[in-house]
Amino acid sequence: AHIFKTGWTGINERTFIAVKPDGVQRRLVGEIIRRFERKGFKLVGMKFLQASEEQLRQHYWELRERPFYKGLVKYMSSGPIVVMAWQGLDVVKTARKMLGETNPADSLPGTIRGDYGVEVSRNVIHGSDSVENAQREISLWFKEHELICWEESNELWIYK
Ligand code: GDP
Ligand code: MG
């Protein structure tokens, strides 16, 4: 739990990932977890929940002036979501690459949005866009004791 206060850098960097309501409805949760696991990132927190509009307003605070903001909060609270914290070297930037572009139409095949999404307003998955936002989002969605610091037997085969 000390990582919460100290190192969020190097192999301890963390990002916040959420499978959006459309991703859950379309049974993509397993596929998404599989991609992050196989990549070599470490799962350090996960919950299945229905988010409140208030929580989502905080989460998407930066977008509050955008024309799609109201619809976005409605969409995100329209069904259950899976929230996750993943840890690893450069996980914030790499996860964004794994997700693809904001608009699935601009996302390459091989990315999650490129493979499973069509429209920007139903783009399956969220991922933090910076280390600072990852920290903010993880502390918004998780209590400190819900983040698990665990020893990975595989670490020497993932990191040199
Ligand atoms: P992200 O970081 O790639 O998720 O993109 P943003 O942070 O810019 O936007 C947050 C979310 O708002 C996106 O994932 C989309 O679900 C939604 N969104 C972004 N831009 C648009 C838009 O132009 N129209 C609509 N309807 N939704 C959008
Ligand atoms: Mg964003």
Chain segment 113-137, per-residue pLDDT in tens: 999 999 999 999 999 999 999 999 9
Q: What is the pLDDT at residue 3?
A: 45
Other CB atoms within a 10 A radius of the CB of residue 35 amount to: 17
Could you tell me if the CB of 126 is within 6 A of ligand 1? yes
Q: Which residue has the tokens 């665990």?
A: 150
Residue 126 appears among annotated catalytic residues: yes
Could you tell me if the CB of 61 is within 6 A of ligand 1? no
Q: What is the pLDDT at residue 7?
A: 59
Res 110 pLDDT > 50: yes
Q: What is the pLDDT at residue 9?
A: 87
Q: What is the pLDDT at residue 8?
A: 78
Provide the strand spans (E) within 2-124.
14-19, 42-49, 81-87
Q: Spell out the residues 6+ positions from residue 117 whose beta carbon is closer than 8 angstroms to its own.
A: 100, 104, 107, 123, 124
Could you tell me if the CB of 105 is within 6 A of ligand 1? no
* Confidence (pTM): 0.95
Instruction: Report the separation in Å between the CA atom of 121 and the middle of ligand 1, taken as the mean of its atom positions.
Output: 7
What average pLDDT score do residues 6-29 get?
93
Query: What is the dihedral sign for C-alpha 152, 23, 46, 54?
Result: positive
User: What are the beta bridge partners of residue 42?
Assistant: 87
Q: Which atom of ligand 1 lies at the shortest distance from residue 96's CA?
A: 3
For the chain, the farthest-separated pair of C-alpha atoms sits apart, in whole angstroms, at 47
